[in-house]
Structure 1
Amino acid sequence: MNAGPRTPTVAPVAASELSPAVASAVSYDGLVARALAGELGPDPAKLRIAVAFSTRQAVRHEGRGSGYRNEVLSLRLGAAVGSCAVEPRELPDSAIDDCVGADIVRLLQHPLLPVRVAALDAYLMHVTPHVPECGARTVQLPPGSSLVKSRARARAVVALLDLPAGATVLVVGVVNSLLEALRSRGLNYVACDLKGGTTEWGEPVVTDALAETESGRCDAVLASGMTLGNGTFEPLRRHALAHGRQLVMFAQTGSAILPRFLGHGVSAVCAEPYPFFWLDGGPGTIHCYGGSGLR
């Protein structure tokens, strides 16, 4: 058990504090069903994806001892782009062909989960973009190197956690800049990633997030939107809801999906729609929902 201070029970976000357009989800499957039924916006059978593309990157920041790879499927619906990260080389080329010109209903029923997630993200981005009227607080990232922008995003994400120094955070989806930001706030963490391995500081990375949530040694969960694409988001959400734990999401995957779960297990979201911070050296934009505000 964690020897640090325990976080207080997190009360659900009051419906009056959320935009009616956002406060709508009880479960992920329920959200998909509502989208298919046309309850969230325009008839999805009449909306077609014009552009589908994948973005691949490999990175090793200056001064870091290890690197990583990213691959993201993105779908464009009008002005909106929905995205879902996948493990490198796991997305077949045929998936992109399947998406181009297809309607949202078809894609929400696609056999590949990342396609379904990206399609739902595109649809919800089209319906409820990241604007103040939908509850978003826009945060500007400074221009600079990928590491400069990564650290700025990490500070904004970690600021959404309402925890005292000494508390312990389960980090699902290891990003070294996030771990660095937690350390700077005096927060402990358990790093978790399906890839395993070690962090930049030689700490072991566990691989079973659900086992860690049940262990009781963590006071809050900070999780990547990638959990939507690998099917682990719902168990994390249900655990947070049942145990009153904070669940803060940092989302390039599903940035328009996850704000729908505020008050239903998710306490805050840092939403980062395409284009992501690592694609450009100029100023960037992220959008924060819920939480206690930026520090």
Structure 2
Amino acid sequence: MTLPAPHPQPARTVPHPARPAPAAPSRVHDDPAVRTLADLLHLVRAGAYGPDPARTRIALAFTTAQAVRHEGRARGYRNEVLSLRLGAAVGSCAVEPGALPPGALDECVGATVAELLDHPLTPVRIAALDAYLSHVRPHTPAHGARPHPLPAGDSLTRSRARARAVVDLLPDPAPGRPVLVVGVVNSLLERLRARGLAYLPCDLKGGTTEWGEPVHTGTAALLDRCGAVLASGMTLGNGTFQGLLDHAARTGKPLVMFAQTGSAVLPRFLGTGVTAVSAEPYPFFWLDGGPGVVHRYGDRA
């Protein structure tokens, strides 16, 4: 099937001087290079990042559910996130609302990280990996993170502020090549439009954007058309991250990740395909109206 051409975008409305493409970021600290999630899991199990995961136990498991429709927006959406606590760290993975089976939380509490890395449910494995890496590689300057403040305000104000923090990590793609956006968030699209950047919206849920643009449901036919990729950490949970990583590594296209899911996982791929990460561990920006922070990795952070 022939996919529609990207929706025409408005003229550039916010000055954004052209910048030379940054060099590929170096790995965070002295961590080993990882090119697949399987590589990372193997290294964690082997104790390459610190404490033996077979001797670290999850103390608390919980879910957070949200429904939102911002004032002035035509559509709303729902989120559900599984979170696991290890010491002071919380690891998270988004799930489809209602998808976690009964008893999933009970299976996590008191289990070792090693046990949960082999759990049959992908969200449990990702949340456990994120909790462990958040514990041993917290989002601090010593580990490559740069804090970026988010202001207090209503939900739309904070959503737009986060969108600026995320999108401004993205270098301009090659002229005439749109940004592939995997995981549609209207505030992110709004920021891309403000920068005068065309985009291809993609989300497994399909539908249309706030501006009536069709949302594609798969990336395979779109990767060769794009000049850069902006993707949600939810790709870790639905198994589509590796394809994006491989494409970016092969082509050198920028790959910027915005991560509530796997906020401590994705920085491990800097320099092997990932260009930058906006990491947002629990508690997420939508949980209250107070000031907050995201942690940005990469040359433009």
Question: If the length of structure 1 is used for normalisation, what is the TM-score?
Answer: 0.93
- Report the equivalent of 1:207: 217
- Tell me the SS of whatever aligns to 2:78: strand
Tell me if structure 2 keeps the 8 A contact 1:169–1:220: yes
Q: Which residue of 1 aligns with 2:64?
A: 55
Name the % identity: 65
Partner of 1:72: 81
Matched residue, 2:142: 133
Aligned with 1:263: secondary structure?
coil
Q: Which amino acid aligns with 1:12?
A: A
Q: What is the aligned partner in structure 2 of residue 183 from structure 1?
A: 193
Match of 1:245 in 2: 253
Task: Indicate the SS of the match to 2:64.
Answer: strand
2-structure distance, mates of 1:166, 1:53:
44
Give 3-state SS (helix, strand or coil) of 2:103's partner.
helix
State the 4+ residue runs in structure 1 displaced beyond 6 angstroms. 1-4, 7-10
1:13 aligns with 2:22: no
Secondary structure of residue in 2 paired with 1:90:
coil
Contact 2:33 2:272 in 1 (8 A): no
Equivalent residue, structure 2, for 1:36: 45
Structure-2 residue corresponding to 1:259 = 267
Query: d(CA) in 1 for partners of 2:213 and 2:110?
Result: 46
How far 1:93 sits from its partner (Å)? 2.5
**Counterpart-to-counterpart distance in 1, 2:142 and 2:23:** 23
What is the identity, as a one-letter code, of the residue corresponding to 1:13? P
Which position in structure 2 is the counterpart of 1:153? 162
Distance 2:293 2:20 in 1: 31
Of the three residues 174, 178, 184, the one matched with 1:174 is 184
AA at the equivalent of 2:46: A
1:279–1:145 distance in 2 versus 1, CA, 3 Å = same
* Distance of 1:136 and 1:210 partners within structure 2: 31
For 2:216, the aligned partner's letter is V
Shift of 1:109: 0.2
Cα distance in 1 between the residues matched to 2:25 and 2:209: 33
Q: Match for 2:91 among 55, 71, 82?
A: 82
Task: Give the secondary-structure state (helix, strand or coil) at the position aligned to 2:123.
Answer: helix
Cα offset, 1:37, TM superposition: 1.1
Secondary structure of the structure 2 residue equivalent to 1:209? coil
- 8 Å contact 2:68–2:78 — kept in the other structure? yes
Q: Distance in 1 between matches of 2:143 and 2:230?
A: 22
Query: CA–CA distance in 2 between the matches of 1:221 and 1:150?
Result: 20
Q: Which residue of structure 1 lines up, in the alignment, with residue 152 of structure 2? A: 143
Secondary structure of the equivalent of 1:210? coil
- How many residues are paired up? 286
> How far does residue 9 in structure 1 lie from its aligned partner after superposition?
7.7
CA contact (8 A) 1:104 1:119 kept: yes
Q: Which residue does the alignment assign to 1:119?
A: 128
Work out whether residues 166 and 187 of structure 1, in 8 Å CA contact, stay in contact via their aligned partners in 2.
Answer: no
- How far apart, in 2, do the equivalents of 1:210 and 1:290 lie? 26
* 1:79-133 per-position Cα deviation (integer Å, ceiling 9, x unaligned): 0000000111111132111100000000000000000000000000000000000
Over the aligned positions, Cα root-mean-square deviation in angstroms equals: 1.9
Question: Which deviates the most, 124-133 or 157-166?
Answer: 157-166
CA distance in 2 between partners of 1:291 and 1:225 (Å): 19
* Aligned counterparts of 1:240 and 1:24: Cα–Cα separation in 2: 15
